[in-house]
A and B are shown apart, each in its own frame.
Chain A
Amino acid sequence: MDPLFTWTDFFVLKPAILLSLFGCGILLTDFLLKQGRWNALTALVGEGFVAVALWQHCEDVAANGQRFALGGSMAVDGFSVFFNYIFVVSAILAIIIASRYMDDEKSNRGEFYGLMLFAQAGMTVMAQGYELVTLFIGLELMALSFYVMVGFLRNELRSNEAAMKYLILGALSSGFLAYGFSIFYGISGSTNLAAIADAVAGREISDPVLLIALVTTSVGLFFKISVVPFHMWAPDAYEGAPTPITAYVSVASKAASFAMMMRIFLVPLVSVQELWMPLFGAVALLTMTLGNIAALTQNNLKRLLAYSSISHAGYILLGLAAGNETGLKGISLYILVYIFMNFGVFALISAMRREGHAAEDIDDLNGLMHRHPGYAILMLVLLLSLAGIPPMAGFYGKYFIFLGLLEAGSYLLAIAGALYVAVSAYYYFRIVRAMFLSESLEPAVIAPGLGTKIALVASAVFTLLIGLYPEPFINMATDSILLALR
């Protein structure tokens, strides 16, 4: 019999192990030393270790290709490495934004960073998992940490409310997902994705049991990526959560859920593609419609961005609806650029102040160009990117998605997606208008800490850099999907 735990297993699990260790370490040192300011630094050191571990993964993938461990329940491949890097980058950005913000909110405690790392550990498991129980545990670890982080401002009713709503709908969706998983287990007698793939391929496409499994799993995942009609938690959770967490949820949790979705739909369910592709297309269309239209009238920036992120989820889902290599490449690249543009915008929001309090309305940005021209221009770059105007990074995600749709012959979806770009430009330009065109007697005040400054500048620079020289990033996205999915 195989040994229970080998070095390969350790190697594969290393990012998750490191994250959990550092998470626990932060809790412990915070309790023992009562030195709040070291927590963020410890977390960053942890991210550094994880990055090194991922680099080793990367080397390993280059040498050996896809590799499994723990009895086939975890994998290391280009896909997992790509997504793990995305989680690392977004966690780093979230940490450096958070330290100042949480200080201002007087809630800068160790648990916060510990939870961030735990959530990330869950995400790495979601990206690497190749088996239903593992994926489910990863998802729940991430989700539970996020429920707490969203409600972290304990004394603020808004934050409590957001957490409550997020928890109820999140738990409901986990229930559906688990139900779908249980039926997959029933179909195949195994929880391994490859084994399920064989079982599914052997079934009739019109099998009702399969359909129930497919629908419940989809519903569960649709909640997590916040697409219509399962999006209603997102605006509330985004508005109520502390801003760094809003950014983290909107980017990392969505990326992890998409990673898990791609694994599930492209490995076990690839043989019933014609069943879920139209479903995804329809959901994506609804999502873009509702997200874009609801965003038009929002006055709270975080809420506006919540709806915008719903519509972005619609675009990303279109990549799966296209179902071809170009579309999948589009998903990876879209998520990659989405980190930077979204985090940049949230970094700025986290630094907005009015009379000493956090300010979050579009009007609070009035006249930003007068007082802080630099920030206004960085923000312009990010917003143009979100709107998908070339040569900003955001354009390339849409480029691949549209190309994938055209290759698949889904012309109507492509046209709808393209026209919604113009709609989305309208609400992004409401923000631009406030910053550049509105004359305000009392110009906006932005008070970023050092970390926020770094996050903002880095995000904008990367957004522009990827836009002007996307070659290496496109190759990364290509590598990410080549090995992983069959």
Chain B
Amino acid sequence: MKEHILSIVWLTPLVGMFILLLLPKENKQLIRIVANLAAFAGFLVSLPLVFWFDNSIADYQFVERVSWIPALGVEYYLGIDGISLLLIMLTTVVGFLSILSSWTAIEERVKEYYAFFLFLQAGMLGVFMALDLFLFYVFWEIMLVPMYFIIGIWGHARRLYAAIKFFLYTLAGSVLMLLAMLALYFKHAEQFGVYTFAIEDLMRTQVPLDMQIWLFWGFFIAFAIKVPMFPLHTWLPDAHTEAPTAGSVILAGVLLKMGLYGLVRFSIPLLPEAASDATTVQIIAVLSIIAIVYGALVSLMQKNWKKLIAYSSVSHLGFCTLGIIALNPNGIAGGILQGLNHGLSTPLLFLVIGIVYEQRHALEIADYGGLANRMPIYTTIFLISILASMGMPGLNGFIGEFTILRGAFERDVTWAAFAVLGIVLGAAYLLWLFQRTMLGPMTNPKNEILRDLNLREICVMAPLVLWCFWIGLYPKQHFAVLEKPVARIVERVDPEYYSRNGIPNPLTDGVRVASLVQD
């Protein structure tokens, strides 16, 4: 059981999908029940990971390794470390909640909808587990297909455009990644005489710096599109705005994290010299800062509620990449944790929109106003998610942003200054959004029909809210999980880091929680 737990985790949604396909499509209620059970089962089987995961092991855990295509040296090679653990748990939780949230929102082609969702779920989980680049690529690509359908079939007015734009953008990025992968694979075979895609073997390859830089950008473009980073972000507002609520939730909650995950799992450790090259770092930092400020400014100007949240994602993910490219323990850990935070608070924001959209079918901010009068619980949850998103102390966003700021400050003071500007702007557009939609008198009579949350909707949001508070009030466990893997990345790019700064190295000096709460 324990040695196959990862396979079980990613296959459970897939099995659920096949069961779903056998059901008659007329019986919508049965389909909904089965789909929710399958997603819940997917969450349950992922829970043991949390309990069995050992923070004191620096290496990958729950490893499964079977040869898949010997002719190419491709293996079915799964394993997780702390970074993957957090993202897998995020995926199973957010995936289940987004399926639960669609109970009444989706009335047409119900069976296909849930089937695509479960398929997507399996693909996303695979991405976070694969330690073989080829396998990773397969999961990475196949997951695009269900997302394309989710946006394209159940989206809003311009869904066809948004769906194909999402698909083509990501595909164009990933084919470049494929080339970079193959070049690395070939280089490794040249040096060692063995064809393999396993990342720890590929890490041993000696790649000259100029080639490393080319490969780095090959990988980077794929991941930057997914994150999305500044000039490559244009698919995101369209996809978010047009996708159905659950689609936006999964897109913001999990899909964007794949870009971050790719950076820390592949780009940086595989090509450490290119990643720590001064020019590379400068370029990525500048792009991140532009994303932070630009995303925030554009959010300020949005009239469409969903688009505002979409641009706020660009800004928030800019923080994450800025932290990661600082290449020190605080920056990387903060970047990943902030990714997780964004995966909790932004789905909340989209769920909140979804609830009023389902009743009113309007997305313009001007259509709403004064909802606090009619919907007190709803307003409270919305406020919490806004505070979490803007980095209020006591909630998760604060921890993430603060850690990133420390990392950025350590690297370069100007980075930190711009990041702070981003935080201020973030508070501005989020609070203004809250004021325009929730506060004041209810002016639009159409909003009279709105009702407050029902039990199912509270159940959908409660876990996310609780997780936000957990990270905000007691983040220690999360940092403990991240400590070793982050230290491994830092060791790759800057082996001298710990001794130079006189900080104990978590890899050699035992468990030490590198968090602001502790020191």
Contact = CB atoms under 8 A, between A and B. Distances in A.
Interface of A: 369, 380, 384, 389-391, 399, 402-403, 406-407, 414-415, 418-419, 421-422, 425-426, 429, 433, 436-437, 469-471, 474-475, 478
Nearest to B25: A373
B178 A418 contact: yes
B71 A436 contact: no
Contact of B183 (A389, A399, A406, A478): A406
Contacts of A436: 149, 152-153
B71 A474 contact: yes
Given A403-B186, A406-B182, A421-B175, 9 more contacts: A390-B137, A403-B185, A406-B179, A418-B175, A421-B171, A425-B168, A429-B148, A433-B164, A436-B149
Contacts of B64: none
Given A390-B141, A407-B186, A429 B167 contact: yes
Given A402-B178, A415-B176, A415-B179, A471 B71 contact: yes
A425 B167 contact: yes
B71 A475 contact: yes
B466 interface: no
Interface-central residue, A390, A415, A419, A471, by most chain B CB under 10 Å: A390
Contacts of A419: 172, 175-176
A474 B164 contact: no
A403 B153 CA distance: 36
Nearest to A407: B186
Contacts of A433: 152, 160, 164
A437 B160 contact: yes
Contacts of A421: 171, 175
Contacts of A426: 164, 168
B50 interface: no
Contacts of B171: 389, 421-422, 425
Interface of B: 69-72, 112, 137-138, 141-142, 144-145, 148-149, 152-153, 159-160, 163-164, 167-168, 171-172, 175-176, 178-179, 182-183, 185-186
Nearest to B144: A389
A474 B73 CA distance: 12
A389 B144 CA distance: 10
Nearest to B214: A411
A399 B178 CA distance: 9
A48 to B, nearest CB: 30
Given A390-B141, A429-B167, A437 B178 contact: no
A425 B182 CA distance: 21
Contact of B179 (A369, A402, A469, A474): A402
Nearest to B183: A406
A72 B69 CA distance: 38
8 contacts: A399-B182, A402-B179, A402-B182, A406-B186, A418-B179, A433-B152, A437-B149, A437-B163
A380 B175 CA distance: 20
B179 A414 contact: yes
A406 B176 CA distance: 12
A433 B69 CA distance: 33
Contacts of A414: 179
Main secondary structure of the interface of B (DSSP, over half): helix
Nearest to B184: A406
B186 A390 contact: no
A330 to B, nearest CB: 12
A406 B178 CA distance: 11
Contacts of B175: 418-419, 421-422
A437 B153 contact: yes
A312 to B, nearest CB: 16
A47 B438 CA distance: 74
Contacts of A399: 72, 178, 182
A92 to B, nearest CB: 27
A281 B142 CA distance: 30
B111 to A, nearest CB: 9
B72 A474 contact: yes
Contacts of B153: 436-437
Nearest to B155: A437
Nearest to B159: A437
B218 to A, nearest CB: 9
A9 B116 CA distance: 57
A471 B160 CA distance: 37
Given A474-B69, A475-B71, A384 B145 contact: yes
B225 to A, nearest CB: 11
B23 to A, nearest CB: 13
* Chain A CB within 10 A, most for which of B164, B175, B185: B175
Nearest to A429: B164
Contacts of B179: 402, 406, 414-415, 418
Contacts of A384: 145
A422 B168 contact: yes
B346 to A, nearest CB: 26
Given A422-B171, A429-B164, A403 B152 contact: no
Contacts of B72: 399, 470, 474
Contacts of B141: 389-390
A463 to B, nearest CB: 14
B69 A470 contact: yes
Contacts of B160: 433, 437
B254 to A, nearest CB: 20
B138 A391 contact: yes
Contact of B145 (A369, A389, A418): A389
Nearest to B182: A403
Pairs A-B, 8 closest by C-beta atoms: A422-B172, A418-B175, A474-B71, A390-B138, A422-B171, A437-B152, A421-B175, A403-B182
B21 to A, nearest CB: 9
A40 B166 CA distance: 46
Nearest to A369: B112
A369 B152 CA distance: 14
A478 B69 CA distance: 14
Nearest to B72: A474
A334 to B, nearest CB: 15
B60 to A, nearest CB: 23
A418 B171 CA distance: 10
Given A402-B179, A419-B172, A422-B171, A471 B138 contact: no
A440 B160 CA distance: 15
Contacts of A474: 69, 71-72
Contacts of B71: 470-471, 474-475, 478
A391 B149 CA distance: 18
B291 to A, nearest CB: 23
Q: Which of A369, A414, A429 has the most CB of B within 10 A?
A: A429
Nearest to B189: A407
A4 B172 CA distance: 59
Contacts of B167: 425, 429
B328 to A, nearest CB: 33
Nearest to B177: A418
A471 B67 CA distance: 11
A259 B159 CA distance: 45
A389 B168 CA distance: 12
A390 B138 CA distance: 5
Contacts of B69: 469-471, 474
A471 B371 CA distance: 60
Nearest to A377: B21
A436 B167 CA distance: 15
Contacts of B164: 426, 429, 433
